[in-house]
Amino acid sequence: MSPRTLSRPIRVLVAKPGLDGHDRGAKVVAAALRDAGMEVVYTGLHQTPEMIATAAVQEDVDVVGLSILSGAHMTLFPRVLQLLADMGRNDILLTGGGIIPPEDIDVLQAKGVGKLFGPGTPTSELVQYITTWAAANLDG
């Protein structure tokens, strides 16, 4: 089965939650997604889960990507996921990356978080993952 072609660009919000001040990777990801034809909203540094979920709903995005290097991934991913659900937006894919141990990735994915990526992942993998997800989950 071939994937559906969407009639509009995939909308992605890229966010840096918490106090981590390192955003080079998030900016590289945002640029790669834009280059792939996606509409990207980058929220900048020091975002709270509430700010991220609110922005995702206001911007009517399809995907939220969190970049977390601070070690707070076990708190931040579930919180954003819960806030999106509370806002009636279970349809938004929550994905992301950072320095996340494999056992924590398993736990987060079991809670409903999408695929998570580690440092050094080629941006083409992120683009492929989001594109494949969108083809299967979004209306053309």
Whether residue 47 is predicted with pLDDT greater than 50 in this model: the reply is yes
Residue 119 in tokens = 């440092």
pTM as predicted: 0.94
Domain ranges of the chain: 11-135
- Give the residue-averaged pLDDT of 98-121: 96
- Give the residue-averaged pLDDT of 110-119: 97
Whether residue 2 is predicted with pLDDT greater than 70 in this model: the reply is no
Q: Which residues contact 97 (CB under 8 A, 6 or more apart)?
A: 25, 29, 65, 66, 67, 68, 116, 117, 118, 119, 121, 126
In this structure, which CATH number among 3.40.50.620, 3.40.190.90, 3.40.250.10, 3.40.50.280 belongs to the domain 11-135? 3.40.50.280
What is the residue-averaged pLDDT of the chain?
A: 94
Q: What integer pLDDT is reported at residue 5 of this predicted model?
A: 66
